[in-house]
Amino acid sequence: MNIYDLTKEELICYFLSIGAKKYHAEEMYRWLYQKKIKDFSEVTNIKKDILKQVQKDFSLGSISVVQVERDTDVSKYLFELSDSCHVEAVLMMHDYGRSICVSSQVGCNMGCKFCESGRRKKVRNLKASEMVEQILKVEEDLGKRISHVVVMGIGEPFDNYDSFIQFVKIINDPLGLQIGSRHITVSTCGIIPKIEEFSLFPYQVNLAISLHAPNDLLRSRLMPINKVYPLKELMISLKKYSEKTSRRLTFEYILLKDINDSEHYALELANLIKGMNAYVNLIPYNSTENLGFFRSDAFQIMKFYDILKKNHINVTIRREFGSNISAACGQLRSKKEEL
């Protein structure tokens, strides 16, 4: 078992079960996440016989960095997992801090037509530890702490819900990485039963919805998941989510040239989300080869933005990172594995 799969509470249970004390587990948590040990032998304040048992029962990490692409305020990391699969994370420097975009699965089964990750089927879910370690590895490379986490890399986090929740508990812990839940955002293509479950999760984690189209016809063409969880039902479940949690939602909307970027769609979008506690994040598309989608031009993006604004919708245009490097989800992995 990988020790990074355990919450602090689970580690405490384990320590008690081997006859050690609660504070030993708390010390261990600090060694893991604050001092970031590479080997259990670095631990100095826990008795040797306890440490021996821990060493026997747990491994310490399982992923390694195999490639880094760097640009001024963004770096992209390619990781190799213990079974030779690859996933990616992106580090972004903002004026408010450093954020990381982590992957939640190897590949993805949602099949969104414009997405590089979706072009390649899911191989497996990531374990919580494999998500946690993406942060640890990037912090190690950087020599600094990361303040914000978005689960928007390869994979659909709500298709790997339990590991995602475990991941949040681990990185949020005050003795661990201390990433505040308001600094964590999860993005989903709209898996309704998990949105309902997530509304009961007592952490103030932000929820982003990949909308990308304001009606069923277009959305089903772009995102096959819409045939399973259609827009109308999705919006009902999101309204319930908002009522239950009082948290503000984010709608992500990639602007795809001549597909979903017309003034007509902007109006339809405004009508769809009018009155909700939500804002729209317009995303300039990162073109990837072979998929046949293109980025809307700047003028069209501004037109779309203006229509939403005029209709009193909170809207931002996503700041761009990494179009010089392979920053669209899944591009680096694809390059590596298809060479």
Site for ligand SAH, rule CB under 6 A: 110, 112, 114-115, 152, 156, 187-189, 210, 252, 254, 283, 285-286, 288, 328-329
Distance of closest approach, residue 21 Cβ to ligand SAH, in angstroms: 41
CA distance 149 to 131: 11
Out of 88, 130, 133, 252, pick the active-site residue: 88
Asked about 88 being catalytic, the answer comes back as yes
Distance of closest approach, residue 18 Cβ to ligand SAH, in angstroms: 39
Out of 101, 112, 115, 329, pick the active-site residue: 329
Give 115 or 313: the residue with its C-beta nearer to ligand SAH.
Answer: 115
CA distance 2 to 269: 45
Distance of closest approach, residue 176 Cβ to ligand SAH, in angstroms: 24
Q: State the CB neighbour count (10 A cutoff) for residue 107.
A: 21
CA distance 239 to 231: 12
Name residues whose C-beta falls within 8 Å of residue 43's C-beta, 6 or more positions apart in sequence. 27, 28, 31, 37, 51
Distance of closest approach, residue 152 Cβ to ligand SAH, in angstroms: 4
CA distance 310 to 8: 48
State the virtual CA torsion across 42, 45, 47, 48 in degrees, nearest 10.
Answer: 20
Spatial contact of 253 and 317, defined as CB atoms under 8 Å apart? no
What does the block give as tokens for 335?
């390059």
Asked about 329 being catalytic, the answer comes back as yes
Give 183 or 194: the residue with its C-beta nearer to ligand SAH.
Answer: 194
Give 19 or 292: the residue with its C-beta nearer to ligand SAH.
Answer: 292
Give 129 or 210: the residue with its C-beta nearer to ligand SAH.
Answer: 210
Catalytic residue ranges: 88, 329
